[in-house]
Amino acid sequence: MKKLFCVLLAPVIFLLYMGVSFAEANGPSVSLDTPVPSQNYQPGDNIQITGNAQDITQVTIIVRNAAGGIAYAAQPPVLNGAFSTVFQLNDDAVEGQYTIDIGAKELPAPVNFTFKVDKSSNDGGSNGGGGGGGTISHAVTSTTGKATVTPSAGGTISLGSEATIEIPAYSLTGTSRVEVKVQKVTNPPDVPAGFKLVGTVYEFSVDGKNSYTFDKNVTITLSFDLALISPDETPAIYYYDDSQGKWVNLGGTVSGNTITMQVNHFTKFAVIADKKDVVNTDKVIAVALNDITGHWAYDNINKLVAMGCISGYPDGSFKPNKSITRAEFATVLVNAFKLSSSNGGKKFADTASHWAGDCIAIAAANGIVSGYDADTFGPNDLITREQMAAMIVKAAKLTPAARDTQFADSSSISSWAREAMAAATEHGIINGYPDDTVRPQAGATRAEAVTVIVNALN
**418 or 277: which leads in pLDDT:** 418
**Does residue 73 sit in the same domain as residue 144?**
no
For the cut 90, the answer to whether the pLDDT of residue 44 exceeds it is: no
The answer to whether residue 155 is domain-embedded is yes
**Does residue 26 sit in the same domain as residue 101?**
yes
**Does residue 90 sit in the same domain as residue 160?**
no
The domain in which residue 95 lies consists of: 15-130
For the cut 70, the answer to whether the pLDDT of residue 8 exceeds it is: no
Which pLDDT belongs to residue 314?
62
Least confident of 135-144, 299-308, 385-394: 135-144
**Does residue 208 sit in the same domain as residue 120?**
no
Tell which of 130, 158, 175 closes a domain: 130
> Cβ neighbours of residue 152 under 8 Å, at least 6 residues apart?
95, 119, 137, 169, 170, 175
The model's pTM: 0.46
DSSP code at position 270: E
DSSP secondary structure string for all residues of 61-118:
EEEE-TTS-EEEEE-PBPBTTEEEEEEE--TTPPPEEEEEEEE-TTSSS-EEEEEEE-
CA 253 to the chain's CA centroid: 15
**423 or 42: which leads in pLDDT:** 423
Percentage of the chain exceeding pLDDT 90: 17
**78 or 343: which leads in pLDDT:** 78
CATH number at residue 205: 2.60.220.30
The answer to whether residue 209 is domain-embedded is yes
**Does residue 159 sit in the same domain as residue 275?**
yes
User: How many structural domains does the chain have?
Assistant: 3
DSSP code at position 323: B
Residues in the chain, overall count: 458
Tens of pLDDT, residue by residue over 408-443, are: 888 888 888 889 999 998 888 998 888 888 888 888
**Burial of residue 140 (number of CB atoms within 10 Å: 0-12, 13-18, 19+):** middle
**Does residue 242 sit in the same domain as residue 376?**
no
For the cut 80, the answer to whether the pLDDT of residue 444 exceeds it is: yes
**Does residue 336 sit in the same domain as residue 427?**
yes
**Does residue 272 sit in the same domain as residue 380?**
no
Q: Which residues pair with residue 238 across a beta bridge?
A: 249, 270
Which pLDDT belongs to residue 295?
85
For the cut 60, the answer to whether the pLDDT of residue 133 exceeds it is: no
**Does residue 255 sit in the same domain as residue 124?**
no
Confidence tier at 12 by pLDDT (50, 70, 90): very low
Q: Which residues pair with residue 53 across a beta bridge?
A: 30
Spatial CA neighbour of 353 closest among 161, 154, 151, 89: 161
CB 47 within 8 A of CB 88: yes
Distances (CA, A) of 17 to 12, 20, 25, 62, 111: 9, 8, 18, 20, 14
**204 or 371: which leads in pLDDT:** 204
CB 130 within 8 A of CB 148: no
CA distance 121 to 155: 24
The answer to whether residue 310 is domain-embedded is no
CA distance 412 to 437: 10
Query: How many C-beta atoms surround the C-beta of residue 139 within 10 A?
Result: 18
CA distance 452 to 445: 11
The answer to whether residue 40 is domain-embedded is yes
As a dihedral over the C-alpha atoms of residue 31, residue 36, residue 41, residue 45, rounded to 10 degrees, the angle is -60
The answer to whether residue 314 is domain-embedded is no
The answer to whether residue 318 is domain-embedded is no
**Does residue 283 sit in the same domain as residue 345?**
no
The answer to whether residue 300 is domain-embedded is no
Q: First-to-last CA distance in the chain?
A: 76
Percentage of the chain exceeding pLDDT 70: 85
Confidence tier at 138 by pLDDT (50, 70, 90): low
Tens of pLDDT, residue by residue over 171-221, are: 888 888 889 999 999 888 888 777 889 999 999 999 988 888 888 888 899
Query: How many C-beta atoms surround the C-beta of residue 309 within 10 A?
Result: 22
**Does residue 177 sit in the same domain as residue 276?**
yes
CATH number at residue 107: 2.60.40.1930
CB 253 within 8 A of CB 307: no
**Does residue 446 sit in the same domain as residue 363?**
yes
Pairing of strands 60-64, 202-206: unpaired
The answer to whether residue 307 is domain-embedded is no
Tell which of 98, 130, 162 closes a domain: 130
Which pLDDT belongs to residue 173?
86
Tell which of 237, 268, 287 closes a domain: 287
Tens of pLDDT, residue by residue over 319-345, are: 889 899 999 999 999 988 988 877 666
CA distance 265 to 258: 20
